[in-house]
Amino acid sequence: MATEAKKKIGILAGRRRRHVRILLALATAAVVAGAGTTIVLTQRGTATAAQDAATLPPQPALVTATPQVAPLSEDAPAPTPQALAAALDPVAANPALGNFTGSVTDARTGAVLWSRGPDTPMTPASTTKILTAAAAMLSLPPDHRVTTEVVQGSRPGELVLVGHGDPTLTAQPVGQPGYYPGGPRIVDLADQIRRSGTAVDSIVVDTGAYTGPALAQGWIPDDVAAGYIAPIEPVMLDGARSDPLADEPPRSATPALDAGRALAQALGVDPARVTLGTATPDTDRVASVQSAPLRERLGVMMRRSDNILAETIAREVAAGKNAERSFAGATEAVVQVLYDAGFKTDGVTLHDGSGLSVDGRIPARLLDAVLAAAAGESEPRLRPMLDDLPVAGATGTLSDRYATGDRVGAGWVRAKTGTLSVASALTGYVVDVDGRVLTFALMSNDRPPGESRPALDAVAGALRLCGCR
């Protein structure tokens, strides 16, 4: 798994929030025990070394490891609403939670066992990605890929790089990883062009697959240089990162042109001869590469809370519904897919697919309902989402939560985090001490994350400890 750096919490003067992600790498250590033998030779008087050799103890019997994941019991008792309320109400009353809402559901029955203002629209931050992921899983095949192609230009020597929405293209040399596992390579496009025998002296980059503004309502333009986001264009290198292997380095303000310049350099063309333009309809394709399957990209999006992937995947949902591939078209398509699947979408206001917008609103009820559908029997297409959620104290954006101090939720809480300067959220599931799976959505507004995140963790920890029968 790629190394995940910590997200810095920086609140600019006069700004309303700063997006926060804390990403750390999980290192898994395997300890292998082996028997070693040391022979010590000594000499006493006339005794020989062989006679005085230390007597070796018998070697221990070999141990065969048989690790396994045991299924949960079908007979695990469900918490009662009364007992659950007695366990959660005291921690949910923590003033550090500010304006707090929440919902807890029994995954097996789908019954809501506890709630606090579940219909109130709240700033969701990156838990918005749960809706984006769910809409993608419900409307697109898991092996769906995005193509980036090069076609003939309008004159001899001109080629057009046409982006269709893949930000995972990398200019890294063969043998060196890009940021996104399985991402396609500029060098492969260049190799195909050379094998075709096509002469090239200039590159045009076509960004017409996307329409509308490149930055969403509720985004702070300074977040581009801060490394949290980039202008959303249909072709990028490593999500527009200035350092292709860093989690959140400064992003480029011209992602598509950067990709065109990288292709020009790989072909020995002057990068100054790269411009923005439009491909002529029905021209011949010269080269193409494809993204990793949607299923793999969704996993990266959720574990790393990748804003760029969230925005481009939301536009894939829009394309699948024949909607405009813009912020407006993508968010409308995401909500429509969820509505068509039977989810109650009242109170939802989306301006992006990542949750970076401070103007987005989602009720806890909907986030919990999506997780309950994934963990229960009602919507098997959502089940892979459970594998993509970070693990408390171990992986992704939960790697440093429950890692020290109160570790009650470590390994048991799996959830998508969401953090802005005055909004924190935690949506996922936990197995309680009785072996029952409980899904939850916990949302705090109007408090800085330094206060609200530990308080949210305490609520999820109380769910883990609750033998609430």
Question: Which of 295, 410, 255, 356 is CA-nearest to residue 21?
Answer: 356
Catalytic residue list contains 444 = no
Catalytic residue among 103, 115, 291, 305: 305
DSSP 121-162: EE--GGGHHHHHHHHHHHHS-TT---EEEEEE-SSTTEEEEE
pLDDT given at position 280: 94
Q: Report d(CA 28, CA 107) in Å as an integer.
A: 30
Q: Residue 406: what pLDDT?
A: 76
Are the CB atoms for 353 and 365 separated by under 8 Å?
Answer: no
What pLDDT, on a 0 to 100 scale, did the predictor assign at position 19? 38
Q: Is 305 a catalytic residue?
A: yes
Which of 7, 103, 115, 129 is catalytic? The answer is 129
Catalytic residue selected from 126, 252, 399, 424: 126
Q: What per-residue confidence (pLDDT) applies to 198?
A: 95
> What is the reported pTM?
0.85
- At residue 66, the pLDDT reads 66
pLDDT at 65: 65
Instruction: For the chain, list residues with pLDDT below 70.
Output: 1-56, 65-70
**Positive or negative, the Cα torsion across 103, 72, 399, 25?**
negative
Q: What digits encode the pLDDT tens for the residues 264-285?
A: 999 999 999 999 999 999 999 9
Asked about 126 being catalytic, the answer comes back as yes
- Measured CA to CA, the distance from residue 436 to residue 377 in angstroms comes to 15
Residues 6+ apart with CB under 8 A from 306: 239, 300
